[in-house]
Structure 1
Amino acid sequence: MQDIQALVDQAKAHYDRAQDGKKIWKWLDKVSARIIFYGRVLDALAQHHPEYVALAWGTLKFVLMGILNHGRLVQEFSQALIQIGDALRLTKETAELYQTDDVRDAISRLYAPILVFFQQALRWYNRSRVGRALSAVFSPYELKYKDTVEQIQRCAKAVNDMAAAKSRAEIRDIHISLEMMRRETAQLKETVDGTLKVATCNKTISERIHIDVQDMLPRTRDIQLSHILDALKPQICPHDTFHTLQSIVKRSRSTKLPEAEPKNVLQTLNRWLTKEGSSLFLLRIGPRAEAKARELTTDIISLLQAKKLKVIWRLSPPHGGSVPSLTEVLKVLIHQALLVEPFLLERGDLNVAKFRSTHTDAEWASLCRTIFARLPKCYVIIETHDLFQANADNDQFLPNFLKLFQELACQAASNGHSLKFLVLCYGSGGSDVAGTYISCILPMR
């Protein structure tokens, strides 16, 4: 179709170049138009002299009509070619947009009259001048070409109407899609609103649960700590032992004259009490000085309590009891440390079953190191005459026993804490313990 259109355009251009500059045709068109316009007057004159004028006027009128038809034919061809070009452009766009069978059928119906008109126009442009002149007379535009052009216009209109109908259908589909999207959006909004309401309610419930849990956590911790303290609770309460020893010391002092403590012991004890940081004070008890050692420990504990200082202790019971052990001593110290500072145990340490189960001395010593490493400031008084008597035949007991408390003091010092240990030693061992500590001997009474 494009090749045929190009061929017709080429023939038209050749015709236009051939007619360019020939003003005679333009002049003849104007004269013919004027003569035909006044033809009614000439027809009236011809009626008065029909025998002379009729033949001449009829011949002249036939020639003039041929000239006018030639000009109109050229004009109609030009307009038709322009319309066909526009129709083909729109048809191409329609064919690309709507590739359906009905559109293809409508376009094929349009191409048929266009091809017929191109054939007619090409034949007319390729004729000679005489042939074109005769064609203008015997085959005017209205008789030979007008029907083809009108058919082209009808087919082009049909294609345009079909494209418009499909466009309206697409608009309708778009409208339906938009309406569906609007409904889906509305449903989604309702779902989101519902979810938001549920989330808000859940958030409120979660906040309440969180508050309740936060309120329960301290209580749960207190319950767990209480069970742990029950598991560590010694058979003989350290406070009962202390009060019993206080009573014994008071009765003993009331029945005899007061004695002054050795000067070196008091000086060393004062230095231990006033020195900053952590330290270990080893007070060796001489033979038959046990009673004096009990008096000294009760006085020190009373002094520290009077100053509102944190102090824990383990004292030998005055009336004996079960056979003491290192585990029992360490459990007493851990029990009192937790009473002084309940938050020494972290959440992961609150395992009641662990404290109730049986452990070795080394395991209790390890737990003691963990607990005392978190204790910021405290005085620890350890008087274990019963334990020393129970281990009198064990040469390694005293060095190992003192080494444990020396490690606790060093650990506290490295952590920047202030833990002061007073350990009363019985027997001659322990002098070979390495490290820095304060030592003094309490002589016999």
Structure 2
Amino acid sequence: MKNSVFSQKIYSFLLNTYRWYLQTPERSLDQAYDAALKIKEIENKHFNGNKIDIDSAMYSNSVMDYFESDLKKLLKTAKMRLTEFRASRWFLDEENQKAAQKAGIEHPSPSLVLEKLNFIDQVISKYTIISDQITSKALVVKSPNIPVDPVISDDNLLRVNAPTLPPKIPIQSSDNRPKPKLKADTMGVLPRSILSTITRLQVELDPNSEQEVIQNFRQAQRRTIISIRFILLLVIVPLLTHQIAKAFVVGPLVEKFRDTEEMQIFLNSEMEEEALVELQRFEEKLKFENFIRNAPPLLPNQIEIEMKKRAGEIAEEFRHESSNAIKNVFADIFSVGAFIWLLLVSKSSIAVIKDFFDRIVYGLSDSAKAFIIILFTDIFVGFHSPHGWEVLLEGVSRHWGLPANRDFIFLFIATFPVILDTIFKYWIFRYLNRISPSAVATYRNMNE
């Protein structure tokens, strides 16, 4: 009995959920229509049926802030519900509509839906700012706190991400200080912005502009494919060269010239100390396990036999590690040679990948550029970077079978990150400051 009641509850819950899902288009449209009606009501009641103008002098600033906050909420609700309406209609097919009819859900007539959508568009369109109209102006906002190089070209200026303009732009009175005359102003009779606008209009009116756009897109797509493929080759080719050379070329030669009986087991003193520590740990473990089992004490001969057996295993492990380190040295030489050869035979791909990275890096927003710069500087030259460099150098030393010289590691950490930090600062000052001064300002604010 209890199971049947529980199953009926689950069935009713699933049925109500499915009915709610089928009613999503009508519910979303009604909510968007209600938001548009509220906006229209504010217009009729407080602005004589006109648009809600934030710059209107009919009310005080506090009242206009109140109307502005309500307008933003209602516009956001209307846009979100319209998006939900479109998405739900796209997912609901004919089978879902038939299921809705069987479930007793009545859909509004198409004429009523079109009437509501038309009314919503009429209300919202008055407050919608097309982003293309803003970006086509290519405005560059110059802040007095951001240094601007007077020789910046128009192409570089267009790369600076201009912030979105607010609804109200206060007009600042110009001071009497003389403005510096830019070199770009002395290049011709007309300003460059007018010439660039005329050129853009000529391109847009050209009947062959569509073909040129398609051709430029295909070229950009081809450059992207070439760049990604070349990056994968730069990673895969050295790794494959290392493994193949180590397995089929370097490995057999090292095993041939190194006599297994007379070969040196340890390449450096650190390996020998590590083996000694491991042997001592095995002896202590052996005695500890004997004490735990409450067994009779081990005789010296038994301990010696176990120690000799373990010492042989440790020697074999370190002999293999020493041979592997020698193989790594020669295999890495082959890898570096393959990497250099790939760079020499792919000069055109290098030019393409340089342009690819330029478009990616300089196409980022100012905050993204500042985030990446801070991330890289903190990892490689930051306060905690010495620990990472120490682990990296010790891993390289172990890879080549070299002793980890602490003096060399500390000297490297004391000099190389400082050089990297100087290069980063010079690049920011020399190049990024000219190409994207707003990104430099964002980086300084984030860093502070």
TM-score, normalised via structure 2 length:
0.20
Comparing both structures, which one devotes a greater share of its residues to strand?
1
TM-score, normalised via structure 1 length:
0.20
